[in-house]
Structure 1
Amino acid sequence: MSADDPRARVLIVMGVSGSGKSTIGERLAERLGWAYQDGDDFHPPGNVAKMSAGQPLTDDDRWPWLRAIAADIDRIADSGDHAVFGCSALKRAYRDILVHGRNDVRIVYLDGSRELIAQRMAARKDHFMPAGLLDSQFATLEKPTPDERAITVTIDASVAQIVDAIVVQLPQQQALNR
């Protein structure tokens, strides 16, 4: 793949907790025939314990986690494979670590209202992120800027419609890899 080739090897599905990163990421990966990786699986036990106790993570907590995901992104993309990652990636600085200038990594931002996401979080079971941390997630969120070339989709639709909205925004040759 040349440096100016627009085809992505890795898509990072980002958004606040409860926006649907795992559900949309898994369905998108299935649709494209790619692997799915959940960014939560890269958290060290201390981060999970902290979030489970209702304590927001600090940037110092996040840096090793983000670097571990970035290393896996590099491994996958450099091997010629494809993957979709679900990762909150709430700040530009976090996305910069994950993408680190790669042209073959794209951000997919799941955009939704606080009210809709709070309703979804209230209905979830067995997740380590308590709904009480939603305000801190929105306070931390820096929506992607145009120079990040993010694909932005609203989450006020069915899973199938959201996946369709993402796929149509991928370069034409990408969508043919389904």
Structure 2
Amino acid sequence: MPARVIVLAGPSGAGKSRLAERLEERFGWPTLRLDDFYRDHDEPGLPVIAEGANAGLVDWDDPGSWNCADALAALLDLCRTGTTDVPDYSIAQSRRTGERHLDLRGAPVFCAEGIFAPDVVAGCAEAGVLESAYCITQHPVITFGRRLQRDLREHRKPPPVLLRRGVALARAQRAVVGRAVAAGCRVSTGDAAFEEIVERWAGSRAPS
């Protein structure tokens, strides 16, 4: 395997994407956005919220709304060959809108981040490509605020849906972290994980 992967799990809005961006700026490591492997909104059999104000809507926080097999296949292809094709997914439209080519450009490590990241940890470990796995988390109030600001800025869903979903996610944050830990992720803040990774790879240079 020419490359290994750092898996970044954790609640939505906890700072996974920001950590991946900082590592790309520091080392030139590309990022595989696992959220791009969501299923299209009209795909049959999607999980649906059964109770509460959002009852009847697709439950995008259920792993059944995400294609783990495709995500893991792309990840392992990236490790083996250094390149892969991945979907472009629009969260606002709840569907794939195209495809893009991801190239490691010789980087020995890349990040894979997303809310369902714990589901790929075992497959990465079994294939021998897992560099490390973190569960990035912060206080639920901070995560709630940052997630809401991001989702409103990006027009991901109508504001009432985002607000109700944010409250539900804040209540479920402990369970999300527990699931990641059970999958083999280590709990950390984004800053602490960044410092640890930089120290480990201090001699590495960004690919030219």
What TM-score comes out, normalization by structure 2 length? 0.60
Q: Give the number of aligned pairs.
A: 159
Higher helix share: 1
> 2:140 — aligned with what?
114
Which of residues 153, 156, 159 in structure 2 aligns to 1:128? 156
Q: Who is 1:4 aligned against?
A: none
For structure 1, which runs of at least 5 residues remain unmatched after alignment? 2-6
Q: Which residue of 1 aligns with 2:87?
A: none
Say whether 1:84 aligns with 2:111. yes
Structure 1 distance, partners of 2:58, 2:110, is: 30
Larger radius of gyration: 2
1:99-122, CA deviations, whole angstroms, 9 ceiling, x for partnerless residues?
251332221221222122112123
Instruction: Report whether the alignment pairs 1:60 with 2:87.
Output: no
* CA RMSD in angstroms, aligned pairs only: 3.5
- Residues 109, 57 of structure 1: CA spacing in aligned structure 2 closer, same or farther, 3 A cutoff? closer
Residue 66 of structure 1 aligns with an amino acid whose one-letter code is C
Partner of 1:112: helix, strand, or coil?
coil
After TM superposition, what 4+ stretches of structure 1 lie above 4 angstroms from structure 2? 49-54
Higher strand share: 2
Q: How has the CA–CA distance of structure 1 residues 73 and 56 changed in structure 2, closer, same or farther, with 3 Å as cutoff? A: closer
Q: CA offset at residue 17 of structure 1?
A: 0.3
Q: Are the structure 2 counterparts of residues 120 and 66 from structure 1 closer, same or farther at C-alpha, using a change threshold of 3 Å?
A: same
Question: Is the contact between residue 36 and residue 84 of structure 1 (CA under 8 Å) also seen in structure 2?
Answer: yes
Instruction: State, as a whole percentage, how many aligned pairs show the same letter.
Output: 21
Deviations, residues 120-172 of structure 1 (Å, cap 9, x unaligned): 12322225373244134543442425x93x454224x5xxx65223333xxx4
Deviation at 1:29, TM superposition (A): 2.5
Which runs of no fewer than 5 residues in structure 2 stay unpaired?
83-103
Farther-moved stretch of structure 1 (70-79 vs 102-111): 102-111
Go from structure 1 to structure 2 and tell me whether the alpha carbon gap of 1:127 and 1:136 turns closer, same or farther (over 3 Å shift): farther
CA distance in 1, matches of 2:117, 2:39: 18
Give matches, 1:26-65, under 5 Å: 26-46=21-41, 55-62=59-66, 65=67
TM-score by structure 1 length? 0.69
**2:169 equivalent to 1:144:** no
